[in-house]
Structure 1
Amino acid sequence: MLKKLTIGFVVIAAGIVLLLSIFGIKEAASLTSSPVDKYISKSSKETVVSKKNNYDTVSNSYNILVMGDSLAKGTGDEKGKGFSGYFADYFRVKNNRNVRLDNIAVNGDVSNGLLQIVKNKDTENLIKKSNMIFISIGGNEVSKFKFEGNVSAADLKDTENKYLNNVRDIFRLIRDNNSKCTIVFIGLYNPFGSSIGTDKIELLNSWNYQTQNIISVDSNAVFIPTYDLFEYDTEKYLTIDNFHPNSSGYKAIAQRIEEVLKNHK
């Protein structure tokens, strides 16, 4: 009798252990599958996967490098994408390709700062692997003139010349490391409206014109004009700081990039 009871307890205990094991396996499975996954879109998952891999191991990957100032970084966008993020979404869907987006832009940067970044060895490696490079720079150099009313015309011209020389050097260094990638340069817009004088507006237009001339020499580079986009829609396209674009502004820039690249051969 005692022997039968002992065997019965052993069988029951084994059954309990088996049930606990099954429950534990199910619980572990539920923990390894994050509840956040169901809220992530397919395109977002593809981007995350591509970022976790090295360039050479991502099949059919298109590599976009973003450099420059806060506009390149996407500052002010409520959705955190910036023009490069919206363009990447468009490119991914249209071409059915994985997109790797590396954004090394720095808030507040100027052309000389970007030049130093381009000279960096880590940046060189990114440039070599890039299919497309976005650049936005010069806005911080121009913006200070709104607040510095005593700046002479000679000082303004000197700043412009240094900026243009830096842009030339930036392009030269990029081409030294990658002769085939498409370079997309974002032009400047006027976020100040009529609060700045016509002389400052002329300076802004001069910078855009001179920059476009430099870029036009490169057969695989395009200049993206943005002045007209914001000229009459600053309230619609700027965030509360009245300087950086909001989500709508960045989308407008991304759409302009799409339009220009369609006509680029």
Structure 2
Amino acid sequence: MSQPPRLALLASDTPRAQEAAEAYRARESFVSEAEAEAVIVLGGDGFMLQTLHHMLDSGRVLPAYGINQGTIGFLMNHPRGTRTLAERVARARRIAVAPLEMTATTGSGKQEAFYAINEVSLLRETRQTARLEVSVNGKVRVPDLACDGILVATPAGSTAYNLSANGPILPLGSNMLALTPISPFRPRRWRGAILPDHYEIEFRVLDPVKRPVAAVADQKELRDILAVKVRTAPSQALTLLFDPGKSLEERIFAEQFQF
């Protein structure tokens, strides 16, 4: 008989998550992240994203099984269950999620790179409309986009900010990215594009002094942006664990039928 997986337990600092963590520790055994084979994440979607980014930054990426102690819990599992956490993890379906890699050039000429699991977005910093040049695989596709911003979303992130900006929902496993303008003013009829996830997308800020732009990779923000390149980073793929019949793939699919 195989041994149950060694689990680490991480909880957000909200009272609800901390109370749940105490209850789990009272009845189940946990190890440190260094010894673990998977990590239990107690909190909401924001804390799950924070945990995944921490693992990317540390270089030690573990399968993550989220238990919702937040509001929406799109990336999480239901807190109720009759099985132990080790049993739930052993039975869970694995979903691979490849993040985006954003490389941004600031006004000082410095380049910085961050990963994004949901989306990379460019946003105007002031009341002035942003003006952006949009290129795909080195070819300019939109020479002058006047807008509040633009974003590139993964399938996992397509139901978040992207959907709020009237972007398309992308099924998990579609190997596509959503390129979605935010409140576009010109060209008026352009509503974005769906691109293969091996394409490289580049944005150039056309008037960075008068119309400054910030770049955001999930929760990390840079200001005074001149240019941004975005591409998928399959070598940094993350693994999310879901109870059978409750996978992220089904949740994304079901969002297309919400009214």
TM-score by length of 1: 0.28
Which structure has greater strand proportion?
2
Q: Looking at CA atoms only, which structure, 1 or 2, has the larger radius of gyration?
A: 1
TM-score by length of 2: 0.28
